[in-house]
């Protein structure tokens, strides 16, 4: 899900630049927070319940958003 997240952030920032919208820049951190806790964390819990140890091992080797944290 890292690639989709990166793409979404890129599109949002592109729109913000294109329309010179300060509001998008101001609201972006709230959107990132909502996506992280409302979608990503819920999806990770679902995958852990569905695939168990296999998913947990996978999650240890793959960065959440495509870059090491």
Contact 47, 55 (CB under 8 A): yes
Instruction: Compute the C-alpha angle 4/58/44, nearest 5°.
Output: 55
Q: What is the pLDDT of residues 14-68, one digit of tens each?
A: 887 787 777 777 777 888 888 889 888 999 999 999 999 999 999 998 888 777 6
User: Is the pTM here over 0.85, yes or no?
Assistant: no
């Amino acid at each position: 899900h890292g690639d989709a997240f990166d793409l979404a952030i890129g599109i949002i920032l592109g729109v913000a630049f294109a329309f010179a919208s300060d509001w998008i820049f101001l609201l972006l951190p709230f959107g990132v927070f909502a996506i992280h806790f409302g979608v990503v964390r819920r999806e990770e819990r679902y995958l852990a319940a569905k695939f168990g140890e296999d998913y947990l091992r996978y999650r240890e080797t793959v960065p959440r958003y495509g870059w090491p944290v």
